[in-house]
A and B are shown apart, each in its own frame.
Chain A
Amino acid sequence: MFSFTRFFAVALACLFAGVVSAAQPTLVVYTYDSFTSEWGPGPQVEAAFEKSCNCDLQLLGLEDGVSILNRLRLEGDASKADVLLGIDTNLTAEARATGLFAEHGLRMNSSALPESWQDDLFLPYDYGYFAFVYNRERLPDPPLSLRQLVEAGDGPTLLIQDPRTSTPGLGLLLWMKNVFGDDAATAWAQLAPRIVTVSKGWSEAYGLFLDGEADMVLSYSTSPAYHMIAEQDRRFAAARFSEGHYQQIEVAGMLKSSKQKPLAREFLQFMLGSEFQRIIPTTNWMYPAALPATELPPEFSDLIDPSPALLFDDQQVARERRGWIDEWLEAVTR
């Protein structure tokens, strides 16, 4: 089909960006923006993969995990993406239902995941546990449980992410549901006055937290490792909650509409390989999905023990997500 956008884009690229080179095939990967930022895994992954693939790897950072899936649904078959990287297991059932994903046909040999992995469409690249991160100097006595956080009327102020756009946001929604069950709406209403803002993605919330806009930010139990390793700063910690922490397994999958399927498969294979996996702990600040724990940086052993890991069945999340989000929307806008 004749496409105005493409015509425009090409014409403008010629006008404003100089010569367009199209000698190599291009692999387009939709991911979240913190993956592509200069301190994220993106630049290293791109350099490493392009060394061997003889291709141009384009990592496009779009807000956050849930947005990537929404974006894909809006675009449907016309999507320019070959690979989607950055949704999590809470969304895989819904992603499967779109019918837009192709079988990867790969086997995962060395899984470091706490549970075994079997999925014909999606492959995990890392995992972690949601947690509230705080600055020890600013908040000397963090809450010891999710219940305590919710019920302390004058408790710490919070920055969280929107469950409609962000996988941590969705994770917190499920965490609350897991702990409070049918009382989750009441718990959210209790929490709402202390929520400084609900951001669309992780990056914005974490950035606001570092600028001192709130006492705690929804992030990962592994986030303090970033401050320890990259900044030699031990002020930041994740609050350990006695109910346990909700788990996230981040996955990638290739698209049926991709015209570069062999290359897409090659990328997924590369993603499971040790070169990619070694980049993850100190850039994405998560536990790599296919790297033995012995290869983790020593600082990772100083992190909190998030057990017991909480996780809903992905089918149940697919069935209930919509209703739970509506419940959340009503509770926090009340």
Chain B
Amino acid sequence: MIRGPVSAYPVLALLALVTLAPLAGLLGGGRLETADLAFWNSAYVWRALRFSLWQATLSTALSLAPAILVARALAHAGDFTGRAFVLRLFAVPLVVPAVVAVMGVVGVYGSQGWLPLGRSLYGLNGILLAHVFFNLPLAVRLLLPLWQSIPAHHWQLGEQLGFDVRQRWRHLEWPALREGLPGVALLVFMLCLTSFAVVLTLGGGPRSTTLEVAIYQSLRFDFDPPRAVILALLQLGLCVLVALATLRWQRLPEVEIDTAPILAGQHRRSRAALPLIMIAALFVALPLAALTLDALRGPALEMLGRPRLWRAAGISLAIGFCAAFVATLAGWLLLRTSADLARRGRAERAGWIETGASVVYVVPPLVLGTGYFVLLSPYVSPFDWVLPLVIGVNALMGLPFVIRCLGPALRQHQARHEWLCQSLGLRGWARWRWIDWPVLRRAFGLSAAMVCVLAMGDLGVIALFGSSDSTTLPLLLYQQLGAYRTDEAAVSAGLLLLLCLALFWLIERVIGGRDA
């Protein structure tokens, strides 16, 4: 077995290759002409750019403002019945595919829905609702630990000084919140900026088109690769800017949260706390409930008899498993090396490896897809390579998650057990079997489950290059929506949601062990 840092470098090199090659393709192979450059300056591009930023800003504000209130309410509400349930519910949108969420949102707020908004959902309204559905619970889960990070004696001190609610907020809570808020805000902003499936399905035509969707349209609608390249470069530049800002304020709280409430007696439950939590929980639960009901009401039996649906489900499953395997393996190889380096006191280099692996989230999938299209199309048909492409891009997108989830576990484990293994002379398989695996399987399980579910529900590169041979479940769902077969789409969405939830649960249990 290869020891030490060596194993990370081939992986890093491969990572650099698969990320940078399409970008080089964009810069070099796009065959831009002067006429195409005028496109930079067209009202359409500026409108797309403005709309991208505007919807991302609004989505971030609308997600974060209530998220702060809800997180605060959760921190102060004590250990009420259903607290664990609410926190679990808030984790669900993480694994709900975007197209499925869109259907749920339409089911609740659409003109035929339970709580019709009165205005058309197609356009900004719908996009914002769907983005808040995803990011409000995410932000709550990320912000909640900030309250837990306030030391107990600060609360006691506040109590002794007779702080009222305003003073407590100003002197205790806000300073803690200020630490993590920019990181969370930038993460949400980035997610909304690169959101594709939501804008694709809910965008009301050219008026509400983001750069990410414009890239797709210039390839699929206009068959105009040079324009796609220009848009992709613009989007890339924007994401790099946001990422640079993120690096500056990078202090994202860990994803794994401690569900324990703040110690009893150190809080005064405000009367608004529980209703607020209830409303947020309903906001998250309603679309899922509406979707489930629609799926059950749809022509479920008839649809489930169709080979097309099962083929799409099979392809989605294969993509999910492959992406999970590749991402987890690559992540593990990288992390092993970085933990090794860190243990030997070369923390800076270790940090670089992890940053390198996380940086891929700067490159949006559609930008990668366009790059690969430009790179590959002179030689082979991208349609024949769509599955490896989709698996690769999804594995890349999943890698930062593996790093964040598996990284801390591995570092801690290595620091604790390395000397023991060396003194016992445990190496290779034996060490893996008896020392590494039992400790790390939980983190492995969570990583693999997450990547698998994300890849399964992805509607990105597959929308660019999907053909009838390679229709995945999200793509089939998108086609059914496009053909206005809403009842069929509901059944597909129900199946996709069920598969995602079931697989997440299953993988976490099978790999992570019984107590995961």
Contact = CB atoms under 8 A, between A and B. Distances in A.
Contacts of A17: 307, 310-311
Interface string B41-52: 011100110000
Nearest to A17: B307
Interface residues of A, number: 56
Interface stretch (A60-68, A270-278, A304-312): A60-68
A16 B467 contact: no
A3 B384 contact: yes
Contacts of A1: 380, 384
Interface in A53-81: 60-61, 63, 66-67, 70-71, 73-76, 78, 80
A203 interface: yes
Given A61-B483, A198-B206, A16 B311 contact: yes
Interface in A188-220: 192, 195-201, 203-204, 206-208, 211-213
Contacts of B32: none
A201 B311 contact: no
A200 to B, nearest CB: 6
B44 A330 contact: yes
B42 A203 contact: no
A75 B381 contact: yes
A78 B381 contact: yes
A330 B43 contact: yes
A322 B39 CA distance: 12
Contacts of B220: 67, 70-71, 74, 165
B348 interface: no
A333 B43 contact: yes
B250 interface: no
Main secondary structure, interface of B, reads helix
Contacts of B205: 162, 195, 197-199, 332
Contacts of A211: 111-112
Interface stretch (B181-189, B324-332, B385-393, B496-504): B385-393
Interface in A149-196: 162, 164-165, 192, 195-196
Contacts of A333: 43-44, 47-48, 206-207, 209
A197 B384 CA distance: 34
A17 B310 CA distance: 7
Interface stretch (B138-146, B313-321, B333-341, B429-437): B313-321
A33 interface: yes
A4 B479 contact: no
Interface residues of B, number: 49
Interface string B183-199: 00000000000000000
Interface string A63-102: 1001100110111101010000000000000000000000
A70 B465 CA distance: 12
Given A16-B313, A17-B310, A332-B205, A207 B469 contact: no
Interface in B219-278: 219-223
Given A1-B384, A332-B206, A164 B217 contact: yes
A204 B483 contact: yes
A116 interface: no
B211 to A, nearest CB: 13
B223 A70 contact: yes
A212 B313 CA distance: 33
A333 B42 CA distance: 11
A15 interface: yes
Contacts of A51: none
A3 B44 CA distance: 38
Contacts of B313: 16
Contact of B482 (A4, A12, A195, A204): A204
A101 to B, nearest CB: 16
A200 B482 contact: yes
B163 interface: no
B300 interface: no
B253 to A, nearest CB: 39
Interface string B350-394: 000000000000000000000000000000111111111000000
B60 interface: no
Contacts of A199: 205, 482
Contacts of A200: 482
Contact of A206 (B209, B381, B470, B484): B484
B484 A12 contact: no
Contact of B318 (A12, A73, A78, A197): A12
A203 B482 contact: yes
A294 interface: no
Contacts of B44: 326, 329-330, 333
Contacts of A201: 482-483
Contacts of A164: 217, 221-222
A37 interface: yes
B481 to A, nearest CB: 7
Contacts of B149: none
B204 interface: yes
Nearest to A195: B205
Interface centre among A12, A34, A37 (most CB of B within 10 A): A12
A290 B470 CA distance: 37
A70 B221 contact: yes
B204 A8 contact: no
Given A4-B384, A5-B385, A198-B205, A334 B469 contact: no
Which A-B residue pairs are the 8 nearest by beta carbons? A198-B205, A207-B484, A78-B381, A164-B221, A197-B204, A197-B122, A16-B314, A17-B307
Interface of B: 42-44, 47-48, 111-112, 120, 122-123, 204-207, 209, 217, 219-223, 307, 310-311, 313-315, 318, 380-388, 465, 467-470, 479, 481-486
23 contacts: A4-B384, A6-B384, A13-B307, A17-B311, A18-B307, A67-B221, A70-B220, A78-B384, A80-B469, A162-B205, A164-B222, A165-B220, A165-B221, A196-B120, A197-B123, A199-B205, A201-B482, A204-B484, A207-B484, A213-B111, A329-B42, A333-B47, A333-B206
Given A67-B220, A212-B111, A333-B43, 13 more contacts: A3-B385, A4-B387, A4-B388, A9-B315, A12-B315, A33-B483, A63-B482, A74-B219, A74-B465, A165-B221, A201-B482, A213-B120, A329-B206
